[in-house]
């Protein structure tokens, strides 16, 4: 393998594949990046066995391809070396004793390489009928749901986001069993068979970081045990989580005792202040009480002091409620909305609280109240 | 105590005094801020017994002074509460049961206060004849020397910066016994008696963060056991370190076997790259070898690979040297210079390396070589 390439171009693609390089894996080959130089261009690949990332630099974006070939080299070292090279041309060449020689006029590095055959043989072939989704919508789905997924490995299915696709409707749900986020979108295509899969949340969060903003769709290729996402010249594969996702449809009420609509930012900043006087050990419990035209949010830490926040609201009837919940969970839920106003729906002090936007019903956030007496 | 004040004005001053609030002190009163409201204005004070910070908001910058008085309240809580209040007027009032009532139209906090008499009684009176220093020069002194001070408590004097003033010359030295930084400036005034004090480096680093950029001098008031810095409406007191600072003058050679001058940025970026292949456990040892018109920097980690960097230089004679040193220490030293070119001076492979600017001799950096054979 021997080529000459702009440092900035190689860096752009190393920035993608480095996210697939394992940082704490004890298997050295999983800390590596594989480079495949063909007459078409340069493929870069990384995997930690749960995800794989592959990018492609076409030959016209490479200054000179002298000799094709493959090498496998430490991801961390090649990434840092290229990052610190000047923004200019850089040469990469496989030399005797399976070393990678990286050089320009003033700098030269020799990096020991691993055996190319030891690198996992990944099948990253895509399917013929991907589901195509606007990339901004796709990023929104992940950002508006992922925070509600569980981080506890005790129930593995809850550490993922459930994607359910029926005809042209895709429902994405995340829950840690104390709160739930559900986003529904309409696809441009119809799927033939019902799809119901669980994708690891942490892999989706990594994926979102890889997706640049542009107009093009992201392709979702669904297989039995994996999903492949394809966009620009990048392929990202993630394994799926085995198991059955809980049926969450019946948990979400559609009729309410009381609906309160109010300004999102006013509510968020009031919760942010009031949560200063809550305890993390105590789940950041905060109290909310409704009155005719306002709500009162209050909390206290006896040794420190107390706080009371008042917000003007509109109610859909004369009912009132006193309820307690985690201010952190409520703030996480509110961050998922972009509308000016939100509607908070109650069915009683021990029943789930639902948060919706006043604009549309695509996104539903649910949090369970906390019994305080 | 009762007053009304702009949130942004109070926040500006809380940002100063919060830096004097202890974060891990077990004595609760040292986690507090004292507020003294007089007819002149509002004084804010904090101390952790090693430093003290006092700021002043004059009455014309306060919306309304209703009743003078003093309170002592948790620094962390009042800081966070005011920080999260809207940018508008905020009321502070001492109420029954020694609580501080903080409120505006929608938000109200009650914070438990501590006993005013328990707050340390600090003597922050200034002297009549301070040493006045341009604040940009003063900040430079600290930034160009502090990194070389020791962080090990085993030799307390080395954790400080030594300020030595004789007539109108101030010499500031920091060393951890492996490297040394020395900055010399000329003062606008003459001091009568020789001054030789050691100020804790961490307190000087905090002080630098408090100093805004403007044209005015900073006043340095030196006492037996403390220094008080005064600038704008801020006073910062720090205790001194007891003990005798080593006499460093004789450590710094003035004649050299070889002087090499080269571009600062080229040297820095080459060291930055080459240090990728050094070990922290091994003091980031790097090798430098001089040739007729260039130097070669090299290092290696046997399992990973090796690196070689070449830089064009000018030498003052035909001597050559092979020497090893810590790339981290050399990079720290180079960061202290702003000139385009630096001069590196050698006296042999086990003798101190001196780095100077080609512009002037105000700043001298010294690092000891590492014996590698």
Task: Judge: B81–A272 Cβ closer than 8 Å, yes or no.
Answer: no
Looking at residue B164, its pLDDT comes to 97
Q: Is B345 strand, coil or helix?
A: strand
Q: What is the mean pLDDT of the segment spanning B250-259?
A: 94
Looking at residue B97, its pLDDT comes to 81
Q: Which of B85, B111, B305 sits opposite A304 (nearest CB)?
A: B111
Which residues, at least 6 apart from A261, have a Cβ–Cβ distance to it below 8 Å? Answer: A313, A314, A315, A316, A341, A342, A343, A344, A358
The length of chain B in residues reads: 373
Size of interface A-B (CB pairs under 8 A): 83
Q: In chain A, whose CA is at the least distance from the CA of B105?
A: A310
Closest CA to A294 of A272, A274, A270, A273: A270
Closest CA to A304 of B35, B113, B118, B82: B113
Task: Judge: A109–B305 Cβ closer than 8 Å, yes or no.
Answer: yes
Q: Which of B106, B107, B305 sits opposite A99 (nearest CB)?
A: B305
Using the predicted structure, report yes or no on whether residue A28 has a pLDDT greater than 90: no
Residues B364 and B253: their CA atoms lie apart, in Å, by 11
Using the predicted structure, report yes or no on whether residue A158 has a pLDDT greater than 80: yes
User: In percent, how much of chain A has pLDDT > 90?
Assistant: 88
Q: Which residues of B touch A111 (CB under 8 A)?
A: 304-305
Which residue out of A11, A85, A307, A327 would a mutagenesis test of the B interface target, given it has the greatest number of B Cβ atoms within 10 Å?
Answer: A307
Q: In chain A, whose CA is at the least distance from the CA of B299?
A: A109
Whole-Å CA distances, B125 to A275, A368, B128, B132, B156: 40, 57, 10, 17, 27
Q: Which of A85, A106, A304 sits opposite B74 (nearest CB)?
A: A304
Task: Judge: A107–B307 Cβ closer than 8 Å, yes or no.
Answer: yes
Residues B176 and B197: their CA atoms lie apart, in Å, by 17
Residues A110 and B192: their CA atoms lie apart, in Å, by 61
Q: What is the mean pLDDT of the segment spanning B82-87?
A: 97
Start-to-end C-alpha separation, chain B: 71
Q: Which residues of B touch A310 (CB under 8 A)?
A: 106-107
pLDDT band at A22 (very low <50, low <70, confident <90, very high): confident
DSSP label of B314: E
Task: Classify residue A154 as exposed, middle or buried by CB count within 10 Å of its CB (0-12, 13-18, 19+).
Answer: exposed
Angle of the B135-145 helix axis to the B201-210 helix axis, nearest 10: 140
DSSP label of B240: P
Q: What is the mean pLDDT of the segment spanning B322-343?
A: 97
Q: What is the mean pLDDT of the segment spanning A130-150?
A: 96
Task: Judge: B77–A269 Cβ closer than 8 Å, yes or no.
Answer: no
Q: Which own/partner contact pairs does B41-45 have at CB distance under 8 Å and 24+ positions apart? A: B41/B65, B42/B3, B42/B5, B42/B13, B44/B13, B44/B14, B44/B16, B44/B17, B45/B17, B45/B20, B45/B119, B45/B122
Residues A142 and A207: their CA atoms lie apart, in Å, by 9
Whole-Å CA distances, A185 to A165, A171, A189, A254: 10, 7, 12, 18
Task: Judge: A108–B308 Cβ closer than 8 Å, yes or no.
Answer: yes
Looking at residue A179, its pLDDT comes to 97
Closest CA to B119 of B29, B38, B52, B55: B29
Looking at residue B373, its pLDDT comes to 64
Please say whether the dihedral angle defined by the alpha carbons of residues B82, B85, B88 and B91, taken in this order, is positive or negative.
Answer: negative
Q: In chain B, whose CA is at the least distance from the CA of A299?
A: B109
Chain B: nearest CA to A146, how far in angstroms?
27
Looking at residue B90, its pLDDT comes to 98
Residues B16 and B144: their CA atoms lie apart, in Å, by 23
Q: What is the mean pLDDT of the segment spanning A147-152?
A: 96
Got the DSSP string for A66-115? EE-EEEEEEHHHHHHHHHHS-SSEEEEEEETTTEEEEE-SSEEEEEEEE-
Under CATH, which architecture does the B131-250 domain have? Roll (3.10)
Task: Judge: A276–B311 Cβ closer than 8 Å, yes or no.
Answer: no
Q: Which residues pair with B229 in a beta bridge?
A: B220, B236
Q: Which of B110, B308, B309 sits opposite A305 (nearest CB)?
A: B110
How many CB atoms sit inside 10 A of residue A170's CB?
22
pLDDT band at A237 (very low <50, low <70, confident <90, very high): very high
Q: Which residues pair with A95 in a beta bridge?
A: A99
Token digits of residue B45: 């004070």
Task: Classify residue B242 as exposed, middle or buried by CB count within 10 Å of its CB (0-12, 13-18, 19+).
Answer: exposed
Q: Which residues of A touch B106 (CB under 8 A)?
A: 270, 309-311
Token digits of residue A44: 């870069």
CA A349 and chain centroid, separation: 32
pLDDT band at A140 (very low <50, low <70, confident <90, very high): very high
Helical H runs in chain A?
Answer: 7-17, 75-84, 135-145, 201-210, 264-274, 327-335
Task: Judge: A305–B270 Cβ closer than 8 Å, yes or no.
Answer: no
Lowest mean pLDDT among A328-337, B73-82, B186-195: B186-195
The CA-based angle B21-B27-B33, given to 5 degrees, is: 35
Q: Which residues of B touch A307 (CB under 8 A)?
A: 107-110
Using the predicted structure, report yes or no on whether residue A282 has a pLDDT greater than 70: yes
Which residues, at least 6 apart from B122, have a Cβ–Cβ distance to it below 8 Å? Answer: B45, B47, B52, B54, B237
Q: What is the mean pLDDT of the segment spanning B343-361?
A: 94
Task: Judge: A304–B112 Cβ closer than 8 Å, yes or no.
Answer: yes
pLDDT band at B267 (very low <50, low <70, confident <90, very high): very high
Which residues, at least 6 apart from B333, have a Cβ–Cβ distance to it below 8 Å? Answer: B148, B179, B181, B355, B365, B367
Task: Judge: A106–B307 Cβ closer than 8 Å, yes or no.
Answer: no
Q: In chain A, whose CA is at the least distance from the CA of B84?
A: A273
Q: In chain A, whose CA is at the least distance from the CA of B83?
A: A273
Which residues of B make CB contacts under 8 Å with A?
A: 74, 77, 80-81, 84-86, 99, 106-112, 269-270, 272-273, 276-277, 303-311
**Domain A131-248 belongs in CATH node 3.10.150.10:** yes
Phi, psi for residue A55 in degrees, rounded to 5: -125, 165
Interval A161-214: pLDDT, tens: 999 999 999 999 999 999 999 999 999 988 888 999 999 999 999 999 999 988
Residues A265 and B106: their CA atoms lie apart, in Å, by 14
Domains A2-118 and A252-367 share a fold: yes
Beta carbons of A220 and A235 less than 8 angstroms apart: no
The tally of CA atoms less than 13 A away on the side-chain side of residue B262 is 22
Residues A274 and B140: their CA atoms lie apart, in Å, by 42
Q: Scanning the structure block, which residue is given the tokens 């895509």?
A: A126
Looking at residue A182, its pLDDT comes to 98
Q: Which of B106, B112, B304 sits opposite A77 (nearest CB)?
A: B304
Phi, psi for residue B41 in degrees, rounded to 5: 155, -165
Q: Where are the domains of chain B?
A: 2-118, 131-250, 252-367
| b/e sequence A286-311, b meaning 16+ C-beta within 10 Å | bbbebeeeebebbbbeeebbbbbbbb
The H or E element containing residue A3 is strand A2-6
Got the DSSP string for A200-243? EHHHHHHHHHH----S-EEEEEE-SSEEEEEETTEEEEEEPPPS
Using the predicted structure, report yes or no on whether residue A96 has a pLDDT greater than 70: yes
Beta carbons of B64 and B4 less than 8 angstroms apart: yes
DSSP label of B267: H
| b/e sequence A233-259, b meaning 16+ C-beta within 10 Å | ebbbbbebbeeebbebeeeeeeebebb
Chain A: nearest CA to B234, how far in angstroms?
28
Chain A: nearest CA to B54, how far in angstroms?
24
Q: Which of B86, B276, B311 sits opposite A80 (nearest CB)?
A: B276
The CA-based angle B127-B133-B138, given to 5 degrees, is: 120
Beta carbons of A300 and A342 less than 8 angstroms apart: no
Q: Is B21 strand, coil or helix?
A: coil
Q: In chain B, whose CA is at the least distance from the CA of A275?
A: B81
Interval B133-179: pLDDT, tens: 999 999 999 999 999 999 999 999 999 999 999 999 999 999 999 99
Closest CA to A251 of A167, A365, A370, A357: A365
Looking at residue A281, its pLDDT comes to 82
Task: Judge: A305–B77 Cβ closer than 8 Å, yes or no.
Answer: yes
Q: What is the mean pLDDT of the segment spanning B312-333?
A: 97
Q: Which of B99, B108, B273 sits opposite A107 (nearest CB)?
A: B273
Q: Which residues of B touch A306 (CB under 8 A)?
A: 109-110
Interval A288-316: pLDDT, tens: 999 999 999 999 999 999 999 999 999 99
Which residues of A make CB contacts under 8 Å with B?
A: 74, 77, 80-81, 84-86, 99-100, 106-112, 269-270, 272-273, 276-277, 303-311
Using the predicted structure, report yes or no on whether residue B232 has a pLDDT greater than 80: yes
Task: Judge: A305–B273 Cβ closer than 8 Å, yes or no.
Answer: no
pLDDT band at A373 (very low <50, low <70, confident <90, very high): low
Under CATH, which architecture does the A252-367 domain have? Roll (3.10)
Q: Is A16 strand, coil or helix?
A: helix
The CA-based angle A14-A19-A23, given to 5 degrees, is: 115
Q: Which residues of B touch A85 (CB under 8 A)?
A: 273
Using the predicted structure, report yes or no on whether residue B358 has a pLDDT greater than 90: no
Looking at residue A355, its pLDDT comes to 98
Q: What is the mean pLDDT of the segment spanning B306-332?
A: 97
Q: Which fold has domain B2-118?
A: DNA Polymerase III; Chain A, domain 2 (3.10.150)
Q: In chain B, whose CA is at the least distance from the CA of A79?
A: B276
């Amino acid at each position: 393998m021997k080529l000459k390439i702009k440092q900035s171009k190689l860096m752009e693609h190393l920035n993608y594949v480095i996210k697939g390089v394992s940082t704490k894996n004890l298997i050295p080959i999983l800390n590596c990046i594989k480079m495949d130089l063909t007459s078409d261009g340069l493929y870069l690949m990384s995997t930690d066995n749960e995800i794989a990332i592959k990018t492609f630099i076409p030959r016209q974006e490479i200054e000179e391809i002298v000799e094709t070939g493959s090498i496998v080299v430490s991801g961390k070292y090649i990434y840092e070396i290229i990052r610190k090279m000047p923004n200019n041309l850089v040469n990469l060449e496989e030399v005797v004793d399976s070393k990678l020689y990286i050089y320009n006029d003033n700098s030269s590095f020799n990096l020991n390489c691993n055996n190319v055959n030891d690198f996992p043989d990944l099948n990253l072939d895509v399917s013929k009928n991907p589901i195509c989704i606007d990339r901004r919508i796709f990023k929104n789905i992940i950002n508006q749901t992922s925070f509600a997924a569980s981080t506890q490995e005790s129930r593995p299915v809850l550490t993922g986001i459930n994607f359910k696709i029926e005809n042209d409707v895709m429902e994405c749900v995340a829950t840690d069993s104390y709160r739930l986020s559900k986003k529904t979108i309409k696809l441009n295509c119809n799927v033939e068979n019902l799809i119901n899969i669980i994708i690891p949340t942490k892999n989706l969060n990594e994926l979102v970081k890889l997706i640049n903003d542009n107009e093009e769709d992201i392709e979702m290729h669904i297989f039995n045990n994996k999903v492949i996402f394809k966009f620009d010249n990048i392929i990202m594969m993630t394994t799926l989580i085995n198991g059955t996702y809980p049926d969450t449809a019946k948990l979400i009420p559609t009729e309410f005792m009381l609906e309160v609509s109010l300004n999102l930012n006013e509510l968020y900043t009031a919760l942010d202040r009031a949560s200063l006087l809550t305890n993390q050990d105590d789940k950041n419990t905060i109290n909310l009480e409704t009155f005719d035209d306002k709500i009162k949010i209050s909390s206290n830490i006896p040794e420190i002091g107390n706080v009371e926040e008042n917000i003007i609201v509109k109610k859909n009837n004369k009912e009132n409620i006193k309820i307690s919940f985690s201010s952190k969970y409520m703030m996480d839920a509110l961050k998922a909305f972009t509308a000016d106003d939100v509607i908070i729906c109650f069915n009683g002090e021990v029943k789930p609280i639902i948060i919706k936007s006043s604009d549309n019903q695509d996104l539903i956030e649910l949090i369970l109240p906390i019994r305080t007496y």
